[in-house]
Structure formats: C-alpha cells, structure tokens
Amino acid sequence: MHTYLVTGGAGFIGSNYIHYMFKKYGDDIRIINVDKLTYAGNLENLKDIENRANYSFVRADICDKDAISAIFAKDDIDRVVHFAAESHVDRSIENPEVFVQTNVIGTAVMLNCAKAAWTLEDGTFKPDHKFLHVSTDEVYGSLEEDGGYFYETTPYAPHSPYSASKAGSDMLVKAYMDTYKFPANITNCSNNYGPFQFPEKLIPLIINNALQGKKLPVYGDGKNVRDWLYVEDHAKAIDMVQEQGKLFETYNVGGHNEKQNIEIIHIILDTLRDMLPESDPRRANVSDDLITYVTDRKGHDRRYAIAPDKIKSEIGWEPETMFAEGIRKTIKWFFENEEWMKNVTSGDYEKYYDSMYSNR
C-alpha cells in the first residue's frame, strides 16, 4: 500500500487530485495532506473525505523544515506529490517575494526532507519511493500567435514572477535528480479549470461575475491564448506519470485545446444562458454587455500551447474531457455550490478584488 504525502491538497488541483485518488484506489492507499491554508487553501474542498480512516490532514508550511521532517519521520511515505505553491500571476506581479519563499524555498525543503528520509546507509534511496513535482507550462515563456508548441525540450524562458519562481523550483528538482539521482518526475501542465477553482482565475471569475451581473474584465485585446485542461484529466496524468513514467523524466500535460480569452468568455455566457432555466432570476444578469476591456496585465504572455506527444506515446495519457463538456460540468458544479463561492468570495477576497480591479 502506498502512503502519499500530498502538499497543497486543500487548493484547487490538489483537492481534485485527492478526490480522484480515493475514487480510483479507495482503501488501497493512504494520503497525508499537508497545507498551510493560505487564502487559496480551503478544507471545505475535502469535507466529503475528511473522515476517511486512510486520510489525514496536517496544517503546516512547506518552508518549515521541522514540521515537514516530522511528517516523514512518523510514516514511511513512499509517494510525494508536490502541489503547494503560490499560483496566481497577478498576485505575483504585486508581491513576488512570497512566490520565491513558497515556490523555491518550500520546494527545496520538500526535496531535502524527502532525500533525508529516503536515503539508505549505503547512500542509495529506498526502492520504489518517488517524488512528483507539479509544475506549469508557463516556465517555457510565451509562444507566437501563429504557431509552435511547448515541448519538454523547449528552453525555459519565464516572464512573470510566478513562472520564474516555478522555473526555479523545477531547476532544483532537476538538480536533485542530476546530483543525487533523487527519484523524481516533473510535470508541466497547461491551464486547468473545473470544480473548486478559486475565482481569481479567469474561468471561475467570469462564471461568478456573470451570474451576479458584474463586469467581466478582459485584459488587453482579449486575444491571449491559453490551452485549457479539465482538472480531473490533469489528476489522472499525474497518477499515470508517477506510476508508469520513466524516473527522472519531465512530461508536458495538456492537449490541443487552445482558446483566446474572449472566446472562453463567450462560451461561458452562451453556456450559462443555455443551462439556466427561464425562471432563474440570475438569467437576466447574463449579458454580453458585461464584457469590459481593461488595462493589460504587465508582461502578459501571448500564447501557451502544449504538444502532449511524449506523455501520449510513452504513457498512453490523453485528455478525455472536451471543453464543451468540461465547461458544462464546471458550471453545473458552481450552480450546485453557491455557498462555497459565497464563502470564498467574502472577506479578504472581496478586498483583494476591489484593489486589483479598481484602477484597471
């Protein structure tokens, strides 16, 4: 039975991954979720599994060496899946330091604690113990509008403080693999969407604002392109890479689902109109007139697109959820979880939203 240490499991992708893993493996795995519970971490995301005997939660900062090594000392953890990070580009532009702290220093602490716990007397590592570092395609920089894809061999060229800090964390993992033969993999994934995504990111922000009749802020000309992946497909890819991937390799995760931001907004508005019954008062709020072009993001990357050739040919993973289906599932989830949205958008988030968008 594998014992997983999942960092950042109370966030968007981490919580979807934990749900996916229990759905797939049931009682055949144990998961220890370590999360600091920043503004982005929410234990409500896990309330349906919190009482499982094979799940436990530890509130800790991944930068806290003592706390992390104590977790490794208590159990024989043979799988680490490292999600914990500061993840929002706009916040990184406002306040880069916390991104360096959590994403770079936190990853160094995770690597060092795992290495210490997994090293045997003869200097080799315990067999079948593995670390998976979850990263982003943003480390590769920006593509031209008219072509090209990110491959695993594409040189790193991060632009935002967020992507620079993730690139730094990837480099540390690579250094551990090269220097110590530390048993790890890296996944670089494109933009995710789905249930439990915090509404500072484009898709949940647009759904939430449209339902409330609030402006839909489009940065720049709205033609920046992102390659969208349904979060459950990402969870599946992570598990497949960890179990079937070649150790020390990087795998890009994504898959030919490129869309301009403005297209995404129109799809969301059309889908909302289609899904909301005539009798629902929110239907009257949903209007194209809410679309508002605002000042562009500083250093805004133009286009991201993944070529998933390697993960497909070596592991057999492919995205399964078409965007039209994934966006309906996502919107349905937000309809059914209005209380979740109310809870995460009250208080500090409201203040953040007002300050971030007031002078755009």
Name which of ligand NAD, ligand TYD, none residue 217 binds, using a CB cut-off of 5 to 8 Å depending on partner kind.
ligand TYD
* Beta strands, E only, the chain: 2-7, 29-35, 55-59, 79-82, 130-136, 184-189, 192-193, 216-219, 225-227, 229-230, 250-253, 258-260, 291-294
Segment near ligand NAD (CB under 6 A), from 188-196, 216-224, 284-292, 298-306? 188-196
For ligand NAD, which residue of 19, 30, 36, 130 counts as binding (CB under 6 A)?
Answer: 36
For ligand NAD, which residue of 4, 20, 72, 83 counts as binding (CB under 6 A)?
Answer: 83
Q: What are phi and psi of 58, to 5 degrees?
A: -125, 125
Q: Can you say how many angstroms the Cα of residue 46 is from the centroid of all Cα atoms in its chain? A: 16
Segment near ligand TYD (CB under 6 A), from 61-69, 77-85, 145-153, 211-219? 211-219
Name which of ligand TYD, ligand NAD, none residue 38 binds, using a CB cut-off of 5 to 8 Å depending on partner kind.
ligand NAD
Q: What is the DSSP string of 15-71?
A: HHHHHHHHHHHGGGEEEEEEE---TT--GGGGTTTTT-TTEEEEE--TT-HHHHHHH
Return d(Cα 275, Cα 268) in angstroms, integer. 10
Residues in CB range of 23: below 8 A, 6 or more apart = none
Other C-beta atoms closer than 10 Å to the C-beta of 87 total 24
By CB under 6 A, is residue 35 in contact with ligand NAD? yes
Residue closer to ligand TYD by CB (options 112, 260) is 260
By CB under 6 A, is residue 106 in contact with ligand NAD? yes
For ligand NAD, which residue of 8, 141, 158, 204 counts as binding (CB under 6 A)?
Answer: 8
3-state percent helix, strand, coil for the chain, nearest multiple of 5: 50, 15, 35
Segment near ligand NAD (CB under 6 A), from 46-54, 191-199, 323-331, 336-344? 191-199
Q: Using the structure block, give the residue that is written with the tokens 């493996």.
A: 25
Please, is 301 exposed, middle or buried when counting C-beta atoms within 10 Å of its C-beta (0-12, 13-18, 19+)?
Answer: buried
By CB under 6 A, is residue 189 in contact with ligand NAD? yes
**Binding to ligand TYD, residues 60-89 (CB under 6 A):** 89
For ligand TYD, which residue of 130, 226, 236, 310 counts as binding (CB under 6 A)?
Answer: 226
In the three-class reduction of DSSP (H, G, I as helix; E, B as strand; rest coil), residue 167 is classed as helix
Task: Confirm if 81 and 132 have CB atoms less than 8 A apart.
Answer: yes
Q: Find the shortest distance in angstroms from Cβ 261 to ligand TYD.
A: 4
By CB under 6 A, is residue 236 in contact with ligand NAD? no
Segment near ligand TYD (CB under 6 A), from 140-148, 215-223, 318-326, 341-349? 215-223
Which residues of the shown chain bind ligand TYD in the complex (CB under 6 A)? 89, 191, 201-202, 205, 217-219, 224, 226, 261, 297
Which residues of the shown chain bind ligand NAD in the complex (CB under 6 A)? 7-8, 10-14, 35-38, 40-41, 61-63, 83-87, 102, 106, 134-136, 166, 189, 191-192, 198
